[in-house]
Structure 1
Amino acid sequence: MTGISSLGVGSGLDLNTLVQQLVAAERAPAEGRLNRLETRFESQISALGQVKSSLATLEEALANLTGVEDARSVQLSDETAFSATATAAADVGRYNIEVFELARAQSLASLGFADPDAALGAGDLTISLGAGDPVTVTIAEGANTLRDVRDAINDADAGVLATLVRDGAEWRLLLSAEESGLANTVSVSVAGTLDGNLASATMTETVTPADARFSVAGLELTSSSNVVDDVLPGVTLNLRRLTEAPVELAVGRDAEATRATLDEFVTAYNAMIDLSAELSSFNTETGERAALNGDSTLRSIRGALPAALGADTGALWNAVELGLRSDRNGKLSVDEDAFTARLAEDQTEVLASLRGFGETLSQNMAIYTDADGVLASRTESLQSSLRSLELRRDQLDRRMESVEARLTRQFTALDQMISQMQSTSSFLASQLANLPLARSGSDGQ
């Protein structure tokens, strides 16, 4: 609003402030309504964002529930000799395992070189690892020191690692196979003018290659690696040291992993129930309503959550029959006895029933959480309403400018009229003072 600095000059009254106060008084009710609507829309958008975040956490837990597998647990009577992991493909059973020898990678050491920066000639190094294809490394003039040879071998990706070691006053080239086992022996030949001491035939074997030797249930086996994953289906053994006596490996069904996945879901589900109760609450003492009190979208979500508990998913049991219980507030818990009994009865069917329940509830939630779902549409509608408030504020500003202009005109006219009346009054007073009667009366005094 633009103030009129000359307003009130004629009357001596602060008419400019009066105009501003009258305009503010007329603006206040409309502006208050717009502010309340803006606060409500923003609160609802924020609340819907909280709902969307909570449902995203629930969907993640449901994805784990939908993908739950017949997990396996492993137990070892001695955890120092080897470790073991098992997938759902592993057979349930017990196995006695002994480790007689660990797999080793071959290492070779060259004869000593006095200067690692001296030129060693030029030509080709041909590197072979076991029965694999040979790899040729070209050593050129100007890049043919012992250090250069080391770097060229490592850059060749031939399955052989080269290092330099100082042995007293001399330097040795060490070659080590990257893979262990008898089949992975290192062979190096030289051609051209390269120093013959770079050939493996002149080197000393510092570590003899070896296959791992072990037994499973008395059956003796070998492996080129200490990581053995092709003997017991679904089981990976990581051999660490030799055993003094058989070590028992027990592979069983991992009910704890299944229960942990279910507990993760229950936690996420109950968090959503708590949030929905908070966002829909009403304080009877203060009359204060939460952002989504009475909101149809939130009521619909609250109804969709428990609906899946007793739904027929095509599996043997529904969620209630598996042991999921809902209290009067809608929060879930797991009936320990019921769930344990179902696991003991048929763990495979329990997993299938959990997957079916997870898929059903995921489908129910997708209506709300998809990119074009209910929550996205509702949020966009509220954001559109916020944008419309800006238009209404612009309209209010223009209307108030018109009101201010009208009041300014009216008060300007009033100011001018008062000014004229004051001028007339002063003139009349002056004329009356100059009348003969007025002078004589003054002289008589």
Structure 2
Amino acid sequence: MGLTANGLGSGLDINGIVSALVNAEKAPKEAQFNVQEGKLNTQISALGALKSAISEFTDKLKPLSDPNTFNGFTSKLSSSDFLKVKTTSDAVAGSYNISVKQLAQSQKLGSAAVADADAAIGAGTLSFSVNGESFDIEVGAEDSLKDIVKKINGSDSNVGVTATIVNGDAGPQLVLTSDKTGEDNTITVTASADSSSALADTFTMTELQPPKNAIVTVDGVTITSNSNEIENAISGVNLTLTAADVDKTTTLTISPNTDGAKKAVTEFVDAYNALMKTVQNMSGYDPETKKAGAFQGDALIRGLQNQFRSVMSSSFGSEDGQMMLANLGIKTTREGLLEIDDDKLTQALKDKPEQISDFFANEDTGLVAKLTEVSENYVQTGGIIDSRDESLDKQLSRIGDSRKQLAIKMAAYESRLFAQYNAMDLLVGQLNAQSSMLQQKFDSLPGLVSKK
């Protein structure tokens, strides 16, 4: 605001008059800018919420893109005391009676007892063999039983033998254990030494524990394994044996994993409905609050709705023919949302798991691939939402520029008004001064009588 005396000549409040005139010119335009900025900021915020909703929906598509979601199986044991089970996609639904007759175990060999585990035994060579593979260690003249244990366990050529010392009643003994279970993994030890060395006598080995294979029967069929981990004992079923009892039978039931598939489909439907409600709120009108959504009538929202609805109502090919969401008991309501017929979905997942898997998960033509394509068009960097966001930012920037131009214009307008009113005030002051001077002259003329 310019500096001025407060109407010294005219007595008028020039500052107040100029301020009122400037505000009268500026206020409507600033109010218009505020409305425009508020609308643009609301739309920018709404775009962020829309992008987030689409991303959350896309995340719920991931389980549906995995064929194992529909082709997987669950296993149930009547007793878990003897074994554990893990299924693969190759499993076949059915019931099996399993009995664990024997667990696999490793062989253990013991050396002759010695008087002192720290005493030297004598020089020579020890040769070890396990399942056709072998390695040697050289024993020095000063090496004790403890030194030999370290050399065996620390050998880079060790083919599967672990050594330890057991202090029994007869004295310390070196005990060898095969690292692998089963009869194929037996240990042989050969000691080579001269007659003055006790190495050969010490390493005359005694079997402390025989190697055993695991023995299992499945519906009366015997299965023998070197390991307690048995892969594909039944097609697509891996067994882990934990205990044995020839008199006990465990029933294993394999069934399609419809619960997992149903959960994935339900979450997909819920996520789609949440997305559509977000979109409807942005584009609709609330008669109670009398407020319109941020994108009421906007082509971006209409385009998004139309593309998603088009994909949802389409049919997709599989090896067994065409399929639609309606075939799974999923239909579209009048509000444009999805609704699940629980019984129909459950039955479809039981009857046609492979066809449903192909319907959702086919990487080129499946429903997930098509929905993901639509989503990415909107949320990817440089996509439709980013482009609109950039456009809104530019409009905000232009409003900022317009505010600056208005401020410059109003400053010039204010200066012009002050100049005009100050000039008027000066003129009025001069006229008042002249009027006073004339009055004084008239009052001083002879013959005139003052009317005080």
Change in 2 beyond 3 A, CA 1:136/1:162: same
Q: 1:9–1:415: 8 Å Cα contact kept in structure 2? A: no
Q: 2:99–2:248: 8 Å Cα contact kept in structure 1? A: yes
Mapping for residues 210-289 of structure 1, pairs under 5 Å: 210-243=212-245, 244-289=247-292
1:325 correspondence with 2:331 = yes
**SS of equivalent to 1:62:** coil
One-letter code of the match for 1:271? A
Q: 1:62–1:359: 8 Å Cα contact kept in structure 2? A: no
Change in 2 beyond 3 A, CA 1:13/1:432: closer
**SS of equivalent to 1:48:** helix
Q: 1:305–1:361: 8 Å Cα contact kept in structure 2? A: no
Matches of 1:254 and 1:220, distance apart in 2: 28
**SS of equivalent to 2:91:** coil
Specify the alignment match of 1:142 in structure 2.
Answer: none
| Most deviating of 88-97 and 431-440 | 431-440
Specify the alignment match of 1:53 in structure 2.
Answer: 52
C-alpha distance after superposition, 1:384-413 (max 9, x if no partner): 232232233223313322331232133134
Deviation at 1:206, TM superposition (A): 7.3
Change in 2 beyond 3 A, CA 1:392/1:351: closer
Specify the alignment match of 2:374 in structure 1.
Answer: 367
Let me know the Cα RMSD of the aligned residues: 5.1
TM-score (norm 2): 0.73
**SS of equivalent to 1:91:** coil
1:8 is matched with which residue: 5, 8, 12?
5
Q: 1:181–1:211: 8 Å Cα contact kept in structure 2? A: yes
**SS of equivalent to 2:305:** helix
Specify the alignment match of 1:62 in structure 2.
Answer: 61
Matches of 2:120 and 2:446, distance apart in 1: 136
**SS of equivalent to 1:231:** strand
Q: 1:76–1:248: 8 Å Cα contact kept in structure 2? A: yes
1:87 correspondence with 2:84 = no
One-letter code of the match for 2:83? F
Change in 2 beyond 3 A, CA 1:57/1:175: farther
Specify the alignment match of 2:392 in structure 1.
Answer: 385
One-letter code of the match for 2:402? Q
Change in 2 beyond 3 A, CA 1:438/1:56: same
Specify the alignment match of 2:30 in structure 1.
Answer: 31
Q: 2:98–2:249: 8 Å Cα contact kept in structure 1? A: yes
Deviation at 1:235, TM superposition (A): 0.6
Q: 1:137–1:153: 8 Å Cα contact kept in structure 2? A: no
Change in 2 beyond 3 A, CA 1:380/1:185: farther
Change in 2 beyond 3 A, CA 1:352/1:410: closer
C-alpha distance after superposition, 1:59-80 (max 9, x if no partner): 3433433433422232222222
Specify the alignment match of 1:312 in structure 2.
Answer: 315
1:78 correspondence with 2:87 = no
C-alpha distance after superposition, 1:63-108 (max 9, x if no partner): 4334334222322222221121222212333322211222335678
Matches of 1:157 and 1:46, distance apart in 2: 66
Specify the alignment match of 1:398 in structure 2.
Answer: 405
C-alpha distance after superposition, 1:177-236 (max 9, x if no partner): 554444456789999xxxx99xx9489987665432222232332223222114222111
Matches of 1:238 and 1:390, distance apart in 2: 67
One-letter code of the match for 1:235? V
Matches of 1:323 and 1:104, distance apart in 2: 53
One-letter code of the match for 1:59? T
Change in 2 beyond 3 A, CA 1:42/1:203: farther
Matches of 2:395 and 2:127, distance apart in 1: 77
Change in 2 beyond 3 A, CA 1:52/1:376: same
Matches of 1:171 and 1:308, distance apart in 2: 77
Q: 2:51–2:378: 8 Å Cα contact kept in structure 1? A: no
| Most deviating of 128-137 and 298-307 | 128-137
**SS of equivalent to 1:388:** helix
**SS of equivalent to 1:333:** strand
Matched pairs, number: 433
Mapping for residues 169-184 of structure 1, pairs under 5 Å: 179-184=180-185
**SS of equivalent to 1:370:** helix
Specify the alignment match of 1:301 in structure 2.
Answer: 304
Change in 2 beyond 3 A, CA 1:85/1:13: farther
C-alpha distance after superposition, 1:369-394 (max 9, x if no partner): 23787992243223223223223322
**SS of equivalent to 2:240:** strand
TM-score (norm 1): 0.74
**SS of equivalent to 1:314:** strand
Q: 2:164–2:175: 8 Å Cα contact kept in structure 1? A: yes
Change in 2 beyond 3 A, CA 1:336/1:400: closer
Matches of 1:165 and 1:15, distance apart in 2: 111
**Structure 2 alignment gaps of length 5 or more:** 141-145, 193-197
Matches of 1:397 and 1:124, distance apart in 2: 95
